[in-house]
């Protein structure tokens, strides 16, 4: 099979596409013919060896995919050859075939094409858990979403709006904000005072901040929370982990929580099933991810670079095989 390979750490350009052996499923595993794989910022970090978990080289990057089951290993009963599935893994998705544990797969919701299915699971699941599992967002509350033009950001705005929240979308420029649907207001934080504008729009302070970006805008967003507000951190796309003065949390009775999908089920065993049901209902109601660009496998470095240089809006997808 053909696969993108990272032989040494560095920028996206170190990734090359070549032939590697086909995987064979072991007990409890499934081989999936990948039709499309979404690109997430952690993929860029893993290639650069800057992610929280280091992967030894060589490896195939890519953590989110959709495709058709080719073969199942011993003991697998949940899926069979020919099933349309979507899933996530630490790595391996930028390839014609991927071998994953069966429990990491779910059926593709009706109505999603291959690029949309590949773009859906990680970002929308992250967004749902940030809003519901961590923040407990309620209808009518003001929700501020940082990095609102990115993959997790657009998903968070979409879900929050559909849950009845009042959303303030925040991104670097008004141009990037123009692609974001579902927000009641927008703030271009590279040219506007984030804290002042949040307080102005919300009438004194937001109830929830969802932050997949980190960096220098985390603290002013936290300062713009109303007393009793909730701040949820889900990633650090800015490349900098913010340091929050804890006296702010104390003085305003704030709650700071984190969402990390790899370990979420261990801490909240019932949350994944509830999220899957809720998201399926939202898809049935017309919810779709924003897929802005689709690259083929030979141009996977261009796909990674579009996230590295922060020009991507919504989700970027790599189409593989019949995934276009």
The helix-helix angle for 271-284 and 114-128 (nearest 10°) equals 130
Percent above pLDDT 90 for the chain: 76
Q: Exposure string (b/e) for 210-244, b if CB count within 10 Å is 16 or more? A: bbbbbbebbbebbbbbbeebbbbbbbbbbeeebee
Q: Are 131 and 161 in contact (CB under 8 A)?
A: no
User: Collapsing DSSP states into helix, strand and coil, what is residue 75?
Assistant: coil
Q: Does residue 165 surpass a pLDDT of 60?
A: yes
pLDDT given for residue 268 in this prediction: 75
Domains in the chain (CATH in brackets) are 2-112+289-319 (3.90.180.10), 123-264 (3.40.50.720)
Q: Are 122 and 40 in contact (CB under 8 A)?
A: yes
pLDDT digits (tens, 9 = 90+) for 271-287: 787 888 888 889 988 99
Q: Which residues pair with 4 in a beta bridge?
A: 17
pLDDT digits (tens, 9 = 90+) for 16-67: 999 999 999 999 999 999 999 999 888 999 999 988 889 999 999 999 999 9
Please state the pTM of the whole predicted model. Answer: 0.85
DSSP string over 124-136? HHHHHIIIIIIT-
Q: Does residue 3 surpass a pLDDT of 90?
A: yes
- Region 139-150: mean pLDDT is 96
């Amino acid at each position: 099979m053909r696969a993108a390979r990272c032989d040494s750490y560095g920028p996206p350009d170190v990734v090359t596409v070549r032939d590697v052996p086909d995987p064979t499923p072991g007990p409890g595993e499934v081989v999936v013919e990948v039709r499309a794989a979404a690109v997430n910022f952690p993929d860029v970090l893993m290639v650069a060896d800057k992610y929280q978990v280091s992967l030894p080289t060589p490896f195939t990057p890519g953590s989110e995919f959709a495709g058709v089951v080719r073969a199942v290993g011993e003991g697998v009963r949940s899926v069979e050859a020919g099933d349309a599935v979507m899933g996530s893994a630490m790595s391996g998705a930028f390839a014609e075939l991927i071998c994953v544990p069966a429990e990491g797969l779910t059926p593709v919701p009706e109505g999603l094409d291959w690029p949309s299915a590949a773009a859906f699971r990680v970002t929308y699941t992250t967004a749902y858990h940030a809003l519901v599992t961590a923040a407990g967002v309620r209808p009518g509350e003001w929700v501020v979403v940082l990095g609102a033009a990115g993959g997790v950001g657009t998903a968070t705005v979409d879900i929050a709006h559909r849950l009845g929240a009042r959303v303030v979308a925040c991104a670097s420029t008004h141009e990037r904000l123009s692609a974001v649907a579902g927000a009641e207001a927008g703030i271009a934080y590279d040219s506007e005072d984030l804290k002042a504008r949040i307080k102005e729009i919300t009438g004194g302070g937001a109830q929830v901040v969802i932050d997949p970006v980190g960096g220098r805008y985390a603290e002013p967003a936290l300062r713009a929370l109303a007393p009793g507000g909730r701040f949820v951190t889900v990633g650090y796309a800015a490349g900098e982990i913010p340091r929050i003065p804890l006296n702010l949390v104390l003085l305003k009775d704030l709650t700071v929580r984190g969402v990390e999908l790899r370990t979420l089920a261990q801490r909240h065993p019932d949350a994944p099933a509830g999220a899957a049901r809720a998201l399926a209902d939202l898809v049935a109601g017309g919810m779709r991810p924003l897929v802005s660009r689709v690259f083929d496998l030979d141009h996977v470095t261009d796909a990674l670079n579009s996230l590295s240089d922060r020009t991507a809006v919504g989700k970027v997808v790599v189409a593989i095989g019949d995934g276009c």
